[in-house]
Structures are given as structure tokens and as C-alpha cells.
Structure 1
């Protein structure tokens, strides 16, 4: 079993974090933002940054090339839909996207927004890790967690209306 600390400060154990979340076994703080037959989007469970979305496959695969054509099309459509909502609902101008194949979880993409406060850590890809660590170590305040939950709620409403 592995352990991680969630954005709400709770430590949880799991075999595969993505499987636990996408199956509903574990609910991330703020719940599901949007989901389709193949994918599940939620606030990153470890870093309390408004609009930091994880888009995870429901099926346990490790690599992009393991997705079926139908899954790949769904992934692309949902990624664009989430990005549009980040811009329109939360005013997020820039996002860094990360997907890696040597993760301990299964296929997922991080959508990491860029805010003004982050630029003190730099403006390149190398700045992302210090930003995430700062968020994990310094942003577990009641006020910030309330703001993160409000962002989750706003994205959820925007992405699920139809």
C-alpha cells in the first residue's frame, strides 16, 4: 500500500490512487469535477491550488498509446472542455500540462494553472516543482482551502451544465 496526504491534510492509503479516485472508492476534496465514460477529472488531491485539475483515465493504462481511438477522442475533447472552463470560469490565462509514463499511478494529465504569485519561483518548467511544494507546505490554510473548493464548485457547475 502507498500513502499520500490530500489537500485537506488527511493521509490515505491506496494501491493505485487514480483507480481509487476514478472508481469512487476515495472521493477527492470537492468531489468529481466532470467525468465521462472513459475519464474522470478532479482537483489534485495533494496540492491546494485553485484550478489544478487531474484528468485521469478510468481504465488502468500507463501510456497514451494504450488508449483506444474512442478513449483518445474523449480525452482530447474533455481536455479542451476543461481548459476552456479554466479560462472562462476561473480566469486562468496559462496552464502547464504534464503527463508522464513512469508514474506510480495510471494514465493521467496534470493541468497546472499559472498565477502571478507563482512567478517568484520562475517562469519555466523548472519552476513547477517549487510551486507545488510551496502549495503543499504553505497553502493548507482554511481560507485557501475554501477558495480551492469554490473553484472546484465553479468548474463542476460549468462543466456539467447541458
Structure 2
């Protein structure tokens, strides 16, 4: 078991955070943004950055080449659908995409928006870690969390028009 601290300050003890999230054992603040047969999309539970979406495989795999043909098709469709909503609904002009195979979680892709304030930390991949830590340590306040929740609800409404939005 691993103890993981979420951005809301709560801690959870889980074998695999992705298993806990995709199964519903741990519900991310604001709920699930989009869910398909193969993937689960939610606001990152560790870093309070408006529109930072994690797209996670429901199946416990870690590598891109482990995706089935159906999962590959679903992945690219879901990824592009979320990206379009980030641009059109949240006004996010640029996103950095990250995926790593040595993760302790499932195969997942981080869709990290780039906001003007982030350029103070640099313009390359090396700036992302300081940006994430800044968000966790300095932006974990009521005003920012309200913006994060509003973005979650906006994306969820756009991507699931008939879905009831949690905490709204």
C-alpha cells in the first residue's frame, strides 16, 4: 500500500491510484470528466491546475504498445475530444502531453495546459516539474480551487451533455 496525498489535502492508502480512480474507489474532486469502455479522464488529483487532465487506461498496463487495437482507437479519439474541449471551452491555447512507462500507476497521459504564469518557470519540458510544485504549494487556495472546479464542470458538461455534474 502507498499513502498518496491529493491536492485537496486528503490522503489515501492504495496499491495503485489508477485502479482506485478508474474503479470509483477514489473519486476525484469534481468527478469523472469523461469515461469510455477503456479510459477514464479526470482532473489531476495531485496538482490544482485548471484543466490539467489525466487520461488513464482502465486496464492495468503501463506501456503504449500494450494497448489493444480497440484501446488505441479509443485513446486517440478521447485525447483529441478532450483537447478540443480544453481549447473551445477553457480557452487553453497550448498543452504539454506526458506519458511515462516507469509509472506506479496505469498507462496514462497528462494533458498539462500552458498558462502565461508558467513561462516564469521556463518554456521547455524542464519547466513542468517546478510548475506542478508551484501549483501544489502556492495555488492550493479557495480562489484557485473554485476555478479548477468550474473548469471540471465545464469540461464534463461539454463532453457528457446528459450527465449530472457532481457538487454542482
Could you say which TM-score interval applies, normalised by the shorter chain? over 0.9
What are the Cα deviations for residues 46-97 of structure 1, in whole angstroms up to 9, with x where unaligned? 0000000000000101101001000000000000000000000000000000
SS of 1:54's partner is strand
* Residue aligning to 1:34: 34
Unaligned runs of 5+ in 1: none
**Matched residues in 1 for 2:146 and 2:9: separation?**
13
Structure 1 residue 87 corresponds to structure 2 residue 82: no
SS of 2:26's partner is coil
Indicate the RMSD between aligned Cα atoms, in angstroms: 0.8
Structure 1 residue 133 corresponds to structure 2 residue 133: yes
The 5-angstrom pairing of residues 1-162 of structure 1 reads: 1-161=1-161
4+ runs deviating over 2 angstroms: none
* Residue aligning to 2:166: none
Offset of residue 112 of structure 1: 0.2
What are the Cα deviations for residues 18-60 of structure 1, in whole angstroms up to 9, with x where unaligned? 0100000110111100000000000000000000000000010
Q: Any conservation in 2 of the 1:9–1:140 contact (CA below 8 Å)?
A: no
Offset of residue 9 of structure 1: 1.3
The total of aligned residue pairs comes to 162
SS of 2:152's partner is helix
Q: Any conservation in 2 of the 1:7–1:29 contact (CA below 8 Å)?
A: no
Q: Any conservation in 2 of the 1:43–1:54 contact (CA below 8 Å)?
A: yes
**Matched residues in 2 for 1:3 and 1:53: separation?**
22
TM-score by length of 1: 0.98
TM-score by length of 2: 0.95
